């Protein structure tokens, strides 16, 4: 089992422990807590008011654009890290390349900003 | 070595069943969350292939950002009447036909690909710092795609902003 | 000097382009541009004549274009014949252009007139200096085009435009023959170059049959252009064009092109079967006498001269037919000058009298002194009276005919000579002598009369150059290389006979028209029946031919519409139904398209797999 | 035995972190009390209410746990786990000293950033599954916020990665002869602000703020399930705080005391900072919050990357000029920001 | 060592599931999700080949990185278009959107 694998083995182990621990807590709580179901308790909590019309609301497309900009800068981060580790020995050329990369994406951000998409209602 | 094999079997089982669930389920939100699970398991498979950087990137982009976008898109299109998801028919009329096509496709691919003999390196050497090696290769010989990717993303961003802006 | 011969041809082209591009603004000044170009051309051609004096021949050529294996050359072949023709063409063209300043004054499209004339001169000159048949053929076509343009100069007149059309189509028929001859020649010799063809023909590698065919086809072209018997109908109608045009094109140069062609390819005619020359001589003689007879009956001054030209051309063809190469060329040169003079004279008469019908004119000698006297000189010369040039060249032809032994042709030519003298002097007496019909006829302005005077000199004296008095200098000069001309003793018998014929003609016309003794009408009417032969017969045959072809084409049209269109529409219909059926396929349901895509991909994969891997 | 080792380590770590959390809760009650000039919990367990957090946990254990009628049963139950498990996995990657650490991942930093995007999903799952219109709305507002602060977090860390040319946390700490906070003040500041937003704490706990929208996405949750969310949050705090210590404060470097001690001194220092900022800084308006995230933190993080990159490549001894230029720009930026936000 | 064939078969099955999803799902967003599945199937194959056949140069891995990045952009645009269609036609079901009908 070379080094790489054990790392993953540990991560899986931690995940399993986390899951088991959480399950343990819940099952213990299940045993201890009372279980009296009443109609009113099961309704959606509307700060005391009766829950009216479905739980579905309509949002403006603004949310979606935020997610997209997040995605694009996520990709940028994904590319920044390897670059960060290696750009020293490639000198100025890789510096310029990354600045172009960041510049283009910054352009996108500025465009979004100017179009007023980044305002949150 | 059965550890890796065992892990592979488990992961592929989860991935395939997850994918099937996405394709079969009536409840769209379930499909999206199952998508999240499948993508994380695929990241685990990349881990199995010693590609740490790719695993992290897969989790970061697919599990994180793409799921977020899909969830937002689902919200905006009210394509899900109730959380329990009953009611709306989920498949179009060519269900049977597409199943056959898919099965046919699978048969063809497996028939063609599996008997092929590949020049497999026996011991897959583990590169010490996967990320550093990866970074070196990308920024040495694959700079052009790197720059093109930024342009593609910019195009996507501007496109979406133009498309999504007209409404309000 | 000879290597600059191409400049002579290029300068009129430049003039044409200058005038063309400044058509509206140049107006009258176009004349001076054209005249300058042709004048320079004349001086140069005189220089070329001087260099060629010793009988030397200059040939220059460069490759014009290479198409695959075939390389087309363009170049010059300056020999005595070409040099003489250069001088003739440039002088006549120059004088006609000067004359036109007066005659065409006040014309709307004067600049276009001069553009067309200089283009014509350029193409005629390039025809003359051509060193291969292809270049000759191209200039031949250009010349035909210019004649069409100039005949149809007043295209508003229906008759002018239809006359131009008729001229173009009829010469076109001739040209087809010429083209076929060219093709046949090229197929056998793979070259157009004169000297190369001459060597091949001399080497005898071509069969007599093909040579005869080529010769006859060339003669067909020449007959079209020089208005020989079946294809002569267009020349009288070509008189619709302005008179200077008739003078230049339909008297001196273009019509001579046919003769020039036959002269240039004379070695083919000689090498061919003797029948070829017989045909040429026969048609030439027949055309001569036919045209002469019709000329007698004409009342329009220009028509008379037109028929006289046809008859004189018949004379030249007959001369060539009997082997009189030098005689024909000599007659061609002299005829060019006095016929041009006659036409210009006629022009100034029309200009002055305002009518073309000779019977409305009379006694013009007193009114138009210069025109009258120059016209007299030209008439005497064409009739063939001793000291003048017409006599010598016609006598030359008659001796050649006698020497070659075809006495029938000799007899026909003598009768034609008599008739020529008769109708020319009929024309002269009716127009210039007798009572003055309209008082206000006036002499033409100086710009018209001076060219007449200048032309009168060669018309009168050029004949001496070729006459025995000067030792037949001219004939020796333009004789074919190698065929040295034995200085024949002047054949007094022939001279006497021709003069007798001429005097008889003059006397007879004097009796009829000079003194109006006998009522001219009875005699003329009897001859008019001949005119029937010309107009109705030939035109009728052409019209019948057309009717037949029309019938055939109608039949074909009907066949085409019903059968061929039927097929096409049928196919269209079938495709239509198919497309309607298939269009139902794209039902707008995207996933069905995706399904088809995947299935197609599978099939492709399987196919590729089996093809490549197995 | 080797097979079971990771499980034991994991369990030990989880328990250790839990005990710390108990201490945190207590410290937080006391500090927020003290700051508001009151005593905070005094009664439970006599001396200064030390047992108050334990009481809370017991309370959660036996409070009734309701699943609403029209909730999506499966997703409702899974949501807390989706939030909790990734954070526990992150613990595997965090080293405490160059000798005391679980495993040395060579992409530790990237691993942590990737896993931190799961909290977003757990919120959305919780919000959507509870079938309550307001919880869904709360979930999305929280999610939007979370997204817009994950980026500056990632970019700030990129600055540090560039300095240390390795993604492994141990490598970063060993490289930190001069603490990164000196070389990367802008990065540190961005990281701290983004961390607080990530953890939904202090000025940015808008989504779960009581006064705003009840409990945001977890309005329908109750009992232990709700506690699970809190637990996930605390583990997140543990992870990010230790990241802050490792990346910017030189990890276990320190003059006299052993490495581990230095680590925890800095760690609790960060915790105190967070506790104080929670009670002292007023809550931020949602749109201001988004503006801060997108229009100030993100650009400044990018600027930080640009400066560090150019200086590293062009200037041979880049430490001093880098620190100076960063401070200058920081002060200028702060001054500018004050005028913008006013 | 997990033999390469296993990876191929697993990604082939995943790809087929993706195809079925694309062909059979009514909701456009789920069609997009199945496209994502197909994308990942391809990426798995690439990674497997990169790890097994060209471990030194890791070409497959680099391809996957760029594929993931461009795939993300692609799904961004795809969802935006679906939103647009939804705004236009109040429905996201693929079979109801048949503007291409003849």
Q: How high is the ipTM of this complex?
A: 0.72
What residues of chain E lie within 8 A of the CB of A68, using their CB?
76, 80
CB C605 to CB B97 under 8 A? no
Q: Does E92 touch chain C (CB under 8 A)?
A: no
Q: Which of the residue ranges C69-78, C405-414, E93-102 would you say has the lowest mean pLDDT?
A: E93-102
Tell me which CATH code domain E4-89 carries.
1.10.287.3510
**Which residues from A are below 8 Å from D151, CB to CB?**
70, 73-74, 77
- Three-state secondary structure call for residue C62: strand
- Chain B positions in Cβ-Cβ contact with residue D165 (cut-off 8 Å): 132
β-strand partners of C130: C76
The per-residue pLDDT for B86 is: 45
With touching defined as 3 or more inter-chain CB pairs under 8 Å, the answer for chains D and A is yes
Say how many C-beta atoms besides its own lie within 10 A of residue E70's C-beta. 17
What is the residue extent of each domain of chain E? Answer: 4-89
Residue count (chain B): 168
Please indicate whether chains E and A are in contact, defined as at least 3 beta carbon pairs under 8 Å: yes
| pLDDT value for C471 | 64
CA distance C41 to D237: 108
pLDDT beyond 60 at A1: no
| C100: phi then psi, degrees, rounded to nearest 5 | -65, -25
Of E23, E101, E102, the CB nearest to C591: E23
Which is higher by pLDDT, E39 or E94?
Answer: E39
For residue A59, give the nearest of B76, B138, B158 by CB distance. Answer: B76
How far is D26 from D13, CA to CA, in rounded Å?
Answer: 20
A4–B138 CB contact, under 8 Å: no
Contact C602 B92 (CB under 8 A): no
Q: What's residue B85's pLDDT?
A: 44
% of chain E residues with pLDDT over 70: 93
Residue contact B97–C595, C-beta within 8 A: yes
Q: How far C166 CA sits from the closest chain E CA (Å)? A: 60
Residue B150, domain member (yes or no) = yes
* Confidence check: pLDDT of B123 > 70: no
pLDDT at B87 over 80: no
Within-domain flag for B47: yes
Instruction: Report the neighbours of E using a cutoff of 3 or more CB pairs below 8 angstroms.
Output: A, B, C
List phi, psi (to 5°) of C516: 50, 40
Residue C481 has what pLDDT? 57
Q: Does the pLDDT of residue C558 top 70, yes or no?
A: yes
Is the residue at B60 inside a domain? yes
**C-alpha–C-alpha distance, residues C390 and C335, integer Å:** 7
| Residue A19 with chain B: CB contacts under 8 Å | none
- D15 to C156, C481, D20, D270: CA distances (angstroms): 117, 130, 9, 21
Cβ contact (<8 Å) for D291 and A84? no
Domain count, chain B: 2
pLDDT of residue A121: 58
Question: Positive or negative CA dihedral for C323, C329, C335, C340?
Answer: positive
Q: Which residue of E has its CA nearest to B5?
A: E2
> What's residue A38's pLDDT?
67
Query: Measuring CA to CA, how many Å separate D90 from each of A11, B7, D72, D237?
Result: 8, 20, 28, 11
What is the average pLDDT across B69-92? Answer: 64
> pLDDT category, B43, cuts 50, 70, 90?
very high
* pLDDT-wise least confident of A42-56, C260-274, C346-360, D71-85: A42-56
Work out the average pLDDT over E11-17: 93
Q: How far is A74 from chain D (nearest CA, A)?
A: 7
Beta bridge partners of C400: none
The rounded distance, in Å, linking the Cα atoms of A120 and D144 is 9
Express each pLDDT in C235-281 by its tens digit.
Answer: 888 888 888 888 888 777 777 888 888 888 888 888 888 888 888 88
Residue B60 forms contact with C (CB below 8 Å): no
Q: Is residue B146 part of a domain?
A: yes
Residue range D212-216: mean pLDDT, rounded: 58
* pLDDT over 80 (residue D168): yes
Q: How far is E62 from chain B (nearest CA, A)?
A: 7
Task: Map out the domains of chain A as residue ranges.
Answer: 3-115
Cβ contacts (< 8 Å) between E39 and chain B: which residues? Answer: none
pLDDT (0 to 100) of residue D284:
79
Please report the pLDDT score of residue C399 as a whole number.
82
- Among C53-62, C466-475, E40-49, name the one with the lowest average pLDDT: C466-475
Give the per-residue pLDDT at A55: 41
Q: Which residues of A touch E76 (CB under 8 A)?
A: 68, 71-72
Label residue C526 by pLDDT band (50, 70, 90).
Answer: low
User: Does any CB of chain D come closer than 8 Å to the CB of residue B74?
Assistant: no
Asked if B94's CB is within 8 angstroms of C599's CB, the reply is: no
Mean pLDDT of C132-145: 88
Cα–Cα distance measured from residue C117 to residue C149, given in angstroms and rounded to the nearest whole number: 9
- In percent, how much of chain B has pLDDT > 70? 82
- A:B CB pairs within 8 Å: 145
Angle between helix axes C301-321 and C274-297 (nearest 10 degrees) is: 160
Q: Tell me if B71 is assigned to some domain.
A: yes
Is the pLDDT reported for residue C529 higher than 70?
Answer: no
* Partner residues linked to C59 by β-bridges: C77
Phi, psi of C66 (to 5 degrees): -115, 120
Q: Determine the number of helices (DSSP H) and then strands (DSSP E) in chain E.
A: 3, 0
Cα A7 to Cα D6: distance, rounded to the nearest angstrom: 10
Which two tokens mark D246? 């490792």
- Distance CA(C408)–CA(C404), nearest Å, equals 11
Q: Is C73 helix (H, G, I), strand (E, B) or coil?
A: strand
| Residue E64 contacts residue E47 (beta carbons within 8 Å) | yes
Residue C89 pLDDT > 80 = yes
pLDDT of residue A52: 46
Query: Scanning every residue of chain E, which has its alpha carbon at the shortest distance from the alpha carbon of C587?
Result: E101
CA B95 to chain A, closest CA, distance in angstroms equals: 29
Query: What average pLDDT is seen over chain C?
Result: 81
Mean per-residue pLDDT of chain B = 81
pLDDT at C523 over 80: no
Give tens-digit pLDDT for A40-53: 666 666 555 544 44
Q: Is C594 on the interface with E (CB under 8 A)?
A: yes
Element (H, E) at C302: helix C301-321
Q: DSSP code of A49?
A: B
Range of the domain at B37: 1-77
Of A7-11, B76-80, C183-187, the poorest mean pLDDT is in B76-80
pLDDT at residue C135 is higher than 80 = yes
Distance CA C171, CA C148 (A): 10
E-chain CB neighbours of A75 within 8 Å are 69, 72
DSSP tally for chain B: helices H, then strands E: 7, 0
Q: Express each pLDDT in D125-152 by its tens digit.
A: 888 887 777 777 778 878 888 888 899 9
Which range among C135-139, C272-276, D38-42, D88-92 shows the weakest confidence by mean pLDDT? D38-42
Given a cut of 90, is residue B14 above it in pLDDT? yes
Q: What pLDDT does C547 receive?
A: 81
Of the pLDDT bands very low, low, confident and very high (cuts 50, 70, 90), residue D210 is low
Neighbours of chain B (3+ CB pairs under 8 A): A, C, D, E
What is the structure's pLDDT at B151?
A: 92
The pLDDT of residue B84: 47
Query: What pLDDT digit, counting tens, does each position of C192-212 carry?
Result: 888 888 888 888 777 788 888
Q: Please tell me the predicted confidence (pLDDT) of residue A56.
A: 44
Token output for D273: 């900072």
The fold of A3-115 is: Methane Monooxygenase Hydroxylase; Chain G, domain 1 (1.20.58)
Assess whether chains A and C touch, using the rule of 3 or more C-beta pairs within 8 angstroms.
Answer: no
Cβ–Cβ of D166/B129 closer than 8 Å?
yes
User: Containing H/E element for C66?
Assistant: strand C58-67
Provide the pLDDT for residue C525.
58
Task: Sort out which chain A residues have CB atoms less than 8 A from D224's CB and list them.
Answer: 25-26, 28-30, 33
What is each CA distance from C562 to C385, C548, C550, C566, in whole angstroms?
Answer: 69, 22, 19, 6
Q: Which of A94-98, C440-444, E6-10 has the lowest mean pLDDT?
A: C440-444
CB contact under 8 A, C590 and E22: no
Within an 8 Å CB–CB cutoff, is residue E2 touching chain A? no
The nearest alpha carbon in chain C to E20 belongs to C595
Q: What is the pLDDT of residue B35?
A: 92
Q: Is C1 exposed, middle or buried (0-12, 13-18, 19+ CB in 10 A)?
A: middle
pLDDT at C342 over 90: no
Residues in chain D: 342
Residue A39's pLDDT band (cuts 50, 70, 90): low
How big is the CA angle at D137 (ends D131 and D140), to the nearest 5 degrees? 110
B62 reaches D (C-beta below 8 A): no
Average pLDDT, rounded, for chain D:
83
Percentage above 90 pLDDT, chain C: 0
Residue in E24, E94, E102 nearest the CB of C590: E94
Work out the average pLDDT over E50-55.
81
Q: How far apart are CA C47 and CA B96, in angstroms?
A: 100
pLDDT of D188 higher than 70: yes
Of residues B94, B108, B112, nearest to C595 (C-beta):
B94
| Contact between D114 and B72 using a beta-carbon 8 Å cutoff | no
Supply the pLDDT for residue B61: 92
Contact D314 A121 (CB under 8 A): no
């Amino acid at each position: 089992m070379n080094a790489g694998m054990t790392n993953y083995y540990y991560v899986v182990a931690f995940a399993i422990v986390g899951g088991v621990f959480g399950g343990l807590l819940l099952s213990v709580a299940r045993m201890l807590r009372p279980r009296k179901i009443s109609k009113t308790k099961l309704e959606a909590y509307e700060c005391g008011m009766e829950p009216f019309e479905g739980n579905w609301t309509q949002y403006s497309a603004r949310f979606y654009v935020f997610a997209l900009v997040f995605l694009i800068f996520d990709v940028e981060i994904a590319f920044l890290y390897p670059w960060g580790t290696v750009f020293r020995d490639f000198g100025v050329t890789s510096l310029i390349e990354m600045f172009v990369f960041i510049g283009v994406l910054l352009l996108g951000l500025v465009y979004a900003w100017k179009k007023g998409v980044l305002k949150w209602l | 070595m059965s550890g890796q094999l065992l892990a592979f079997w488990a992961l592929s089982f989860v991935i395939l069943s997850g994918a099937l669930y996405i394709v079969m389920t009536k409840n769209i939100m379930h499909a999206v969350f199952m998508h999240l699970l499948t993508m994380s398991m695929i990241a685990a498979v990349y881990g199995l292939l010693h590609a740490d950087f790719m695993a992290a990137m897969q989790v970061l982009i697919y599990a994180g950002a793409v799921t977020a976008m899909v969830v937002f898109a689902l919200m905006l299109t009210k394509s899900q009447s109730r959380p329990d998801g009953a009611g709306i028919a989920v498949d179009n009329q060519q269900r049977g036909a597409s199943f056959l096509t898919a099965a046919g496709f699978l048969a063809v691919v497996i028939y063609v690909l599996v008997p092929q003999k590949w020049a497999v390196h026996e011991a897959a050497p583990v590169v010490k710092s996967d990320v550093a090696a990866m970074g070196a290769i990308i920024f040495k010989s694959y700079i052009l795609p790197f720059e093109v990717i930024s342009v593609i993303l910019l195009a996507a961003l501007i496109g979406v902003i133009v498309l999504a802006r007209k409404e309000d | 000097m000879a290597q600059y011969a191409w400049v002579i041809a290029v300068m009129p082209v430049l003039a044409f382009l200058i005038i063309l591009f400044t058509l509206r603004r140049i107006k009258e000044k176009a004349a001076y541009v054209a005249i300058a170009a042709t004048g320079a051309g004349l001086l140069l051609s005189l220089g070329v004549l001087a260099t060629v004096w010793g009988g030397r021949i200059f040939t220059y050529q460069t490759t014009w274009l290479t198409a695959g294996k075939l390389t087309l050359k363009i170049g010059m072949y300056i020999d005595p014949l070409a040099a003489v023709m250069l001088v003739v063409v440039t002088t006549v063209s120059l004088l006609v252009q000067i004359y036109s300043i007066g005659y065409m004054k006040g014309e709307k499209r004067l600049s276009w007139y001069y553009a067309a004339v200089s283009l014509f001169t350029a193409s005629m000159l390039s025809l003359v200096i051509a060193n291969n048949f292809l270049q000759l053929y191209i200039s031949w076509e250009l010349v035909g085009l210019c004649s069409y343009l100039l005949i149809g100069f007043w295209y508003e007149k229906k008759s002018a435009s239809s006359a131009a059309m008729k001229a173009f189509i009829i010469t076109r028929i001739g040209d087809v023959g010429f083209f076929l001859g060219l093709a046949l020649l090229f197929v056998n010799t793979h070259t157009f170059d004169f000297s190369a063809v001459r060597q091949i023909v001399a080497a005898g590698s071509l069969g007599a049959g093909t040579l005869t065919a080529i010769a006859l086809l060339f003669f067909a072209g020449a007959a079209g252009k020089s208005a020989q018997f079946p294809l002569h109908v267009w020349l009288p109608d070509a008189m619709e064009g302005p008179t200077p045009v008739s003078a230049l094109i339909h008297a001196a140069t273009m019509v001579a092109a046919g003769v020039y062609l036959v002269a240039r390819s004379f070695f083919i005619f000689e090498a061919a079967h003797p029948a070829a020359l017989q045909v040429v001589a026969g048609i030439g003689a027949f055309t001569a006498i036919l045209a002469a007879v019709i000329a007698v009956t004409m009342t329009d001054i220009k028509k008379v001269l037109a028929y006289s030209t046809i008859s004189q051309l018949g004379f030249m063809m007959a001369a060539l037919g009997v082997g009189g190469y030098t005689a024909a060329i000599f007659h061609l040169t002299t005829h060019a000058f006095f016929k041009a003079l006659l036409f210009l004279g006629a022009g100034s008469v029309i200009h002055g009298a305002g009518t073309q019908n000779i019977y409305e004119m009379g006694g013009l000698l007193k009114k138009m002194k210069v025109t009258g006297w120059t016209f007299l000189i030209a008439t005497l010369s064409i009739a063939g009276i001793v000291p003048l040039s017409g006599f010598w060249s016609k006598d030359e032809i008659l001796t050649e005919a006698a020497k070659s032994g075809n006495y029938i042709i000799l007899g026909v030519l003598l009768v034609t000579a008599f008739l020529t003298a008769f109708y020319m002097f009929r024309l002269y007496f009716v127009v210039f002598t007798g009572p003055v019909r309209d008082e206000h006829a006036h002499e033409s302005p100086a710009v018209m009369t001076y060219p007449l005077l200048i032309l009168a000199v060669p018309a009168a004296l050029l004949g001496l150059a070729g006459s025995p008095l000067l030792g037949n200098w001219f004939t020796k000069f333009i004789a074919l290389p190698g065929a040295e001309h034995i200085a024949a003793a002047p054949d007094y018998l022939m001279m006497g006979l021709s003069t007798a014929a001429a005097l008889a003609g003059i006397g007879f016309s004097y009796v009829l028209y000079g003194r109006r003794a006998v009522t001219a009408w009875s005699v003329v009417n009897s001859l008019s029946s001949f005119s029937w032969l010309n107009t109705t017969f030939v035109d009728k045959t052409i019209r019948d031919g057309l009717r037949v072809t029309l019938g055939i084409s109608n039949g074909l049209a009907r066949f085409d519409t019903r059968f061929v269109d039927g097929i096409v529409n049928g196919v269209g219909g079938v495709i239509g139904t198919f497309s309607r059926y298939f269009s139902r396929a794209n039902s707008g349901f995207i996933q069905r398209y995706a399904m088809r895509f995947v299935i197609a991909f599978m099939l492709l994969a399987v196919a590729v797999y089996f093809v490549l891997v197995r | 035995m080797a097979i079971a080792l990771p499980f034991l380590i994991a369990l030990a770590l989880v328990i250790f972190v839990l005990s710390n959390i108990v201490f945190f809760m207590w410290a937080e009650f006391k500090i927020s009390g003290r700051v508001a000039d009151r005593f905070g919990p005094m009664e439970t367990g006599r001396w200064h209410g030390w047992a108050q957090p334990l009481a809370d946990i017991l309370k959660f254990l036996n409070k009734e746990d309701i699943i609403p009628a029209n909730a999506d049963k499966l997703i409702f139950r899974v949501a807390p786990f989706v939030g909790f498990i990734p954070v526990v996995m992150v613990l595997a990657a965090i080293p405490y000293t160059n000798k005391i650490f679980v495993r040395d991942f060579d992409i530790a930093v990237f691993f942590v950033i990737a896993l931190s995007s799961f909290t977003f999903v757990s919120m959305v799952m919780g919000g959507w599954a509870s079938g309550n219109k307001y919880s869904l709305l709360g979930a999305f507002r929280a999610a939007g916020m979370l997204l817009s602060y994950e980026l500056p977090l990632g970019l700030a860390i990129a600055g540090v990665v560039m300095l240390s040319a390795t993604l492994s946390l141990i490598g970063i700490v060993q490289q930190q002869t001069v603490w990164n906070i000196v070389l990367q003040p802008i990065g540190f500041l961005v990281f701290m602000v983004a961390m607080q937003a990530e953890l939904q704490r202090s000025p940015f706990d808008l989504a779960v703020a009581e006064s705003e929208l009840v409990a945001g996405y977890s309005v329908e949750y109750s009992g232990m399930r709700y506690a699970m969310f809190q637990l996930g949050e605390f583990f997140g705090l543990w992870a990010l705080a230790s990241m802050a210590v490792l990346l910017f404060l030189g990890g276990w470097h320190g003059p006299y005391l052993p490495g581990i001690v230095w680590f925890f001194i800095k760690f609790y220092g960060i915790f105190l900072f967070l506790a104080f900022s929670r009670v002292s800084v007023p809550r931020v308006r949602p749109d201001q919050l988004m503006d801060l995230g997108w229009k100030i933190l993100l650009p400044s993080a990018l600027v930080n990357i640009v400066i560090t990159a150019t200086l590293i490549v062009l200037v041979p001894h880049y430490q001093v000029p880098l620190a100076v230029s960063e401070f200058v720009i920081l002060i200028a930026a702060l001054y500018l920001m004050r005028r913008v936000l006013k | 060592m997990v033999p390469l064939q296993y990876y191929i078969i697993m990604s082939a099955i995943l790809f087929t599931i993706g195809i079925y999803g694309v062909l059979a799902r009514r909701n456009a967003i789920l069609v997009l999700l199945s496209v994502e599945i197909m994308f990942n199937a391809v990426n798995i194959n690439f990674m497997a080949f990169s790890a097994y056949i060209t471990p030194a140069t890791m070409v497959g891995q680099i391809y996957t990185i760029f594929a993931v990045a461009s795939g993300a952009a692609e799904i961004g645009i795809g969802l935006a278009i679906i939103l647009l269609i939804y705004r236009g036609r109040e429905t996201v079901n693929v079979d109801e959107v048949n503007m291409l009908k003849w």
